[in-house]
Amino acid sequence: MNKHFYVAILAGGLGTRFWPKSRASFPKQFLDILGTGETLIQAAYKRYASFMLPENIYIVTSDEYVEIVKDQLPSINYNNILAEPSRKNTAPCVAYMAMKLLQTDPEAAFVVAPSDHIVTDIETFKQLSLKGLNFAKDNDAFVTLGIQPTYPNTGYGYIQYDTNSSKDDNVFEVKTFTEKPDIELAKTFLASGDFLWNAGIFMWKASGVLQAFESFQPEMFELFASEKNNFNTAEEKYALERIYPLCVSISIDYAIMEKAENVFVIPADFGWSDLGTWNSAYANLNPDARGNAITSENVIAFETINSMISAPEEKLLVIQGLEDFIVVDTEDVLLICKKEKEQQVKEFLAEVKKKKGDKYL
């Protein structure tokens, strides 16, 4: 294992699209959404532990989730749990990780990856991740893993790449990043053959990405640079409390990746899914003969087809006559909605907050 390779697993999100099972106090990355016996963050940690030194695996999360991380990953060094004092999207945490690593390892190269994705082909994932890290290290490049699209998904960002620019056995120059398209544009992307899904997995040298911050996000760079001597000391927590309120909230895609020129992508297929919605959970489960994906043994369904049903084991659910529905039952909330309307979950949450306050969020 390369002692200069690190990973920052991002685990600070709220997971609102998996409400009501995912709550602000205990979001989806800490849940076993698919009934596999391990939570999403545990699965992510295990993936990287297969080719990273344990001391080089970091979890970036919110202050409020530190104890949950400790509970779910009991073997992790507590100093490797990086607690952000506020949510400012992904760019600040990348700057933080890069500046922190550079103080102790000038040769550091690291991966930034979400904690809530599904990967079924671990060996291919490992090989492509190491390929990306080595390419980033040897070429001072920014590398991302792009997923081969299988249908015109409107919920993912897209990466366009130059198919004639292979630099090193399936590593290609990136031409553009595009945010979530409408259905017609997504169909055009798929037909063109030179677009990939953006999985949000990025690799770079710590020194290289900090140079990009200095060029493209100079104010944010100065905030972290001014406190660099406090990183990896007892003062780090207080340094972050001074830095984060002054940081703009911006994704690493907008802040750096869309502006940099030395960006490359590796087309990949390792059984990936962005477990972002109940429909994506449905797609990753094994529906029964009627097309129903049911996560509990205590559900009895009559004349119900093509539906996603999640319920606690201790409660009996009897359902009749549903087609293409999502049913999620928890101790205090029952959600029933058409599968095609799942993107409205955030609207449902806004209405719940308006009428009921924060109790059910």
What is the per-residue pLDDT across 173-203, written as a single tens digit (0 to 9) for each?
999 998 888 889 989 998 888 999 999 999 9
pLDDT at 167: 65
List, in sequence order, every residue forming a beta bridge with 62; answer none if it has no partner: 84
The Cβ of residue 192 has, within 10 Å, a number of other Cβ atoms equal to: 11
The tokens describing 41, both together, are 């963050």
Enclosing H/E stretch for 257: none
Q: Where are the beta strands (DSSP E) in 231-271?
A: 263-268
All CATH 3.90.550.10 domain ranges in the chain, comma separated:
5-274
How high is the pLDDT of residue 231?
A: 96
Global pTM value: 0.93
- pLDDT at position 145: 96
pLDDT of residue 150: 87
Question: pLDDT digits over 41-86, tens only?
Answer: 999 999 999 999 999 999 999 999 999 999 999 999 999 999 999 9
How far is the C-alpha of 239 from the C-alpha of 103, rounded, in Å?
A: 15
Task: Report the chain's C-alpha Rg in angstroms.
Answer: 21
pLDDT at 155: 81
User: Collapsing DSSP states into helix, strand and coil, what is residue 137?
Assistant: helix
Q: C-alpha 301: how far from its chain's center?
A: 33
Query: What one-character DSSP code corresponds to residue 66?
Result: H
Concatenated DSSP letters of 274-311 = E--SHHHHHHHS---TTS-EE--TTEEEES-BS-EEE-
Q: What is the mean pLDDT of each run of 10 residues along the chain (361 residues)?
A: 96 92 94 91 96 97 96 96 95 97 97 94 96 95 93 88 80 90 89 91 97 97 97 96 96 93 94 88 90 92 95 92 96 94 89 94 94
Maximum CA extent, the chain: 64
Q: What fold does the segment set 5-274 form as a domain?
A: Spore Coat Polysaccharide Biosynthesis Protein SpsA; Chain A (3.90.550)
pLDDT recorded at residue 105: 97
Torsion of CA 333, 337, 341, 345, to 10 degrees: 0
In the numeric block, the tokens 């037909």 are attached to 191
